[in-house]
Structure 1
Amino acid sequence: MSAPESGFGHGTTQSVRRVGHQTVTHAPAPDGWDTGLVPDARGRTTRPDPDCPVETALTAIAGRWTTLVLRELMAGPASFGALRQRLPDLSAKVLTERLRTLEGNGLLIHERLPGFPAVSRYTLTGAGLALRPLLTELYRTGSALQSLTGDTSGG
């Protein structure tokens, strides 16, 4: 199935995307890959590959609540308690899991501050902050899809 106007086509179809009032067209490369979607060899796979930049980005934001935790930390460092207050429906267990995963992926730093009671501070690293444009674009794309499909339920 080809969907060139939406930019969701694969393979050898030509993709078209709108930038403001201009139309930007990406013709397939001689090897058949759409260079707008797949500018280099790392993404030219026929299955999910951890070396693919798209897979790397998706892994960074994977997991329910992860994007919301990242959003809260984009504003600056926060303690565990502050994150719990900002995301009251997120359980302490899941927040701990998400924070550990983000730390393990090099996207945040966990500092234990001296004193009693113990306080932890979470700060995004440069790699974590680099996710801001992705989150912004995901929001923009989700809003566009909701408008196009008439689905505002989020699911």
Structure 2
Amino acid sequence: MGHSDSQLGPRVGNQTVTDTVTDTVWDDELVPDERGRTSAPEPDCPVEVTLTAISGRWTTLVLRELMGGPLSFGELRDRLPSLSAKVLTDRLRDLEARGLIARRTHPGFPVRTSYTLTDLGRVLRPLLIELYRTGNTLAALRRSLPR
């Protein structure tokens, strides 16, 4: 008797789906649709899309700093003093190319530039929060392991 035949109906609890072509059992919560049901990384898999968005050394820290609002290059350098100007420039260009931040030039002399998150960039806030929580939990569990 499958879930759809049960008295409780097809949407009770954590469901699994069997792909009849490959006989692979999929957890509906982990893989709710076809885009993630792959045997190799695919560019349209939502997990791969997310990992690509936050990939790169310093990327998550730059995004974190911009979560509070627009910042200039100098303000970002002040907040991340170990980050070289070259790497910061590379990260900002990359994040702008990904559509996660926008660069704005302000009139005047000298010309000032600020960086701000786009709507796409702001979508990453809950992910960054959860990554921090998960990392904190993993670190605590590692500390509790016998040595």
Q: Tell me the TM-score normalized by structure 2.
A: 0.83
Are 1:98 and 2:86 an aligned pair? no
**What SS does structure 2 have at the residue aligned with 1:88?**
coil
Which amino acid in 2 is paired with 1:84? Answer: R
* Match in the other structure for 2:62: 69
The answer to whether the aligner puts 1:29 opposite 2:17 as a matched pair is yes
Counterpart in the other structure of 2:100: 107
Identity of aligned residues (%): 63
| Whole-angstrom distance in 2 between the partners of 1:88 and 1:117 | 23
Look up the match of 1:83.
76
Matched residue, 1:130: 123
Root mean square deviation of aligned Cα:
1.5
Q: Does 1:49 align with 2:37?
A: no
Deviates more, 1:116-125 or 1:69-78: 116-125
Aligned to 2:60, what secondary structure does the other structure show?
helix
Q: Secondary structure at the match of 1:109?
A: strand
The residue matched to 2:105 in structure 1 has which SS? strand
- Which residue in 1 is equivalent to 2:9? none
Larger Rg: 2
- Provide the secondary structure at the position in 1 that maps to 2:31: coil
How many residues align? The count is: 128
**Where do 5+ consecutive residues of structure 2 fail to align?**
1-12, 20-24
Displacement of 1:93: 0.5
How far 1:113 moved relative to its partner? Answer: 1.2
Cα deviations across residues 85-142 of structure 1 (Å, max 9, x unaligned)?
0001100100011111110001111011112222111010000000000000000110
CA distance in 1, matches of 2:137, 2:90: 31
Of 27-36 and 44-53, deviating more is: 27-36
Once residues 95 and 14 of structure 2 are traced to their aligned partners in structure 1, the CA distance between those partners, rounded to angstroms, is 34
